[in-house]
Amino acid sequence: MNSKAEIINVAKQTIEMEANAILHLSTLIDDNFADAVNLIYNSKGRVVITGIGKSAIIASKIVATLNSTGTPAIFMHAADAIHGDLGLILEDDVVICISKSGNTPEIKVLVPLIKSAHNKMIAITGNKDSFLGLQADFVLNAYVEKEACPNNLAPTTSTTAQLVIGDALAICLLEKRGFSSKDFAKYHPGGSLGKKLYLRVHNISSINQRPQVDANASIKEVIVEISEKLLGVTAVIENDKIIGVITDGDLRRMLSKTDDFSSLTAKDIMSENPKRISPEAMAVDAKELMEDFGITQLLVEDNGKYAGVIHLHDLVKEGII
């Protein structure tokens, strides 16, 4: 395979083969799946997920997904389990064993040990009639007809199927728990994803300076206020209320129209009814409002009173954009 066309063709075939296998999985979902979800949901313990080889890697990812969506889970490598790590499994834990064939030597040793401890066991396997499938309390069928590997050897389609079954479990449990975006933010406080879920406008605007001028302020006063406060904007205030806004753009437009602005005041050049946002609004809502109206700043208004400015650059700095 030397040409770009051949490479592209193989890539497309791989994706299509795996996509078709995943679509077929939906036909294999049955009462076992629902019973497994309810078992985990009602359990007082954790979910211990184990596997060998590539299935162990998939097990680690499913553990991460469950933990991040409200279901406590830990990973236990099947090989390590039979050499001392079985102590990870507590009395009320539910065990999920992942194995394509369900007949690997490590699984055959591990399964009886789990059964003897009376822990409930769920199998994710491509062979429900395997040793694992027959021993498990519930079997989640992850059968695939063929690996994407041309030799039908390297775990590709089968591990993708295992991963999708794990995702389906996690989402069903998430739905049963009523796991909300606030819950998600609690488990994901770091990075831009977390900030989108918890960062509010006041968390940003309270750090910024608060440029403002009176309606009768001179243009020189307006220029000085915008320059000193470094936000490219100033609110125009009258009786503690926002009556307008002046931006760098407003000043440029004024200068293009007149050579003498000595008699002009803030009220003469301001834009009325500026877009504003509550300090309790989510920062991501401020982003969307700026994008909708093609602006780079929003005035913050708290119970009818001017409370500051949030700038597009603030959102970029925080990773919201």
Binding residues for Zn(2+): 77
Structural contact between residues 170 and 124, judged by C-beta atoms closer than 8 angstroms: no
List binding-site positions. Answer: 77
Structural contact between residues 221 and 211, judged by C-beta atoms closer than 8 angstroms: no
What is the distance between the alpha carbons of residues 163 and 154, in angstroms, rounded to a whole number? 16
The residues that bridge with 282 in the sheet, in sequence order, are: 200
What is the distance between the alpha carbons of residues 63 and 166, in angstroms, rounded to a whole number? 9
Amino acid at 257: K
Q: How many CA atoms lie within 13 A of 92 on its CB side?
A: 8
Q: How many CA atoms lie within 13 A of 62 on its CB side?
A: 31
> Would you state the structure tokens that stand for residue 143, as one six-digit string?
């059968």
